[in-house]
Amino acid sequence: MGRPSIARILIVSPTLADANTGNWRTAHRWAGFLRREFRVRVASTWEGEPDDAMIALHARRSAQAIAAFAAVGRPVAVVLTGTDLYRDIRSDRSAQRSLELARRLVVLQPQGREELPAALRAKTVVIEQSAPSMAPLAPRRRSFDLLLVGHLRPEKDPLTAVRALARLDDPASRRLRLVHVGGTLDAALGRRMRDAARRDPRIELRGPLPHAATRALIRRGRLLLLPSLIEGGANVLIEAATAGVPVLASRIGGSVGLLGDDYEGLFPAGDDAALASLILRCRDEPSFLERLRAQCERRAPRFAPGREAGAVLALAHNLLLARRARCAPDPSSLKVER
């Protein structure tokens, strides 16, 4: 009797390694988890290969692959990104169709489920992302570094951080340094960031860096700034929290879902004055900075890789059970020979 074949799992990501986006980081990490038990590949589409189940990131951008895979009767899980949850599923028919076709929906933080129609919540699971715990590195003494990590696009709202820094022009604020890491996905926003850096020498644009170098920079920072207008559940927030680096984040669903509504480092989205006030408190009140650090540390166990791996493997097994159930013959159709 031959050995059972190993199931094939396809992860569809709208961006791949060369883009180094949050979607790619999630796809790459999940593929590593799934390879413990399955044959796994990551691609940007599906071309009819003999995959047994699909995990697709992004309801709208992966809609064509989702529809084609579901059309041949194979199970799909759709991982909902920030633009899915907080924009596309409200008006884009292809994104809405992806929700209907999915065997399972995945949100990356608990508040995400509340954004879905009530009829879809029963098939929705929460899988919080992870990062290995790392001790913070000694920060630079000559500067108080504020880190802004993410490709430049309007959803990330980096100009709120720039405006907040501009408000802080007293002599003590000359030590502040705003360090941006990431590529430019919006040309106009890139020009505005470069103009701001020319006007203010405290702004440093590092451009895209390898993941390891980016995380080392986070570990050495005083604060991570996350002024986003939309987030599904930011990888970079988790990487900061698991490295003992406090976060100042806009009060949006994706970040509140990870940090908690009682987190003291939240500010209204787009409110540069409120962000500037929080930066000053962190700079001038060591006890406040340490309180934020402690709040992040209390949440860090939720972001352990083992916890995420278990949830991702359970998702894959659920999809494969669905396929086996669909492929099994209907018992009522079987004839019993006597």
The confidence score (pLDDT) of residue 20 equals 77
Q: What is the mean pLDDT of each run of 10 residues along the chain (338 residues)?
A: 78 85 91 97 96 97 97 97 94 97 97 94 97 91 95 96 96 95 96 98 96 94 97 95 97 96 98 98 96 96 97 97 61 33
The 3 state secondary structure assigned to 42-72 is EECCCCCCCCCEEEEECCCCCHHHHHHHHHC
For residue 328, what pLDDT is reported?
43
User: What domains can be seen in the chain, in order of their start residue?
Assistant: 8-130+304-331 (3.40.50.2000), 144-301 (3.40.50.2000)
pLDDT at 327: 56
> What's the Cα-to-Cα distance from 169 to each of 144, 148, 276, rounded to whole Å?
14, 19, 11
Q: What is the pLDDT of residue 59?
A: 96
Sheet strands (E) in the chain: 8-12, 39-43, 53-57, 76-79, 104-107, 124-126, 144-149, 176-181, 203-207, 223-226, 247-250, 266-267
pLDDT at 333: 34
- Find how far residue 136's CA is from the centre of its chain: 21
Distance, CA of 136 to CA of 289 (rounded, Å): 14
Nearest Cα residue to 163 out of 277, 286, 284, 292: 277
What own/partner pairs with CB < 8 Å and gap ≥ 24 does 119-125 have?
Answer: 125/311, 125/315
Sheet arrangement for strand 53-57 = 39-43, 8-12, 53-57, 76-79, 104-107, 124-126
CA 310 to mean position of chain CA atoms: 18
Q: Supply φ then ψ for residue 149, to 5 degrees.
A: -120, 120
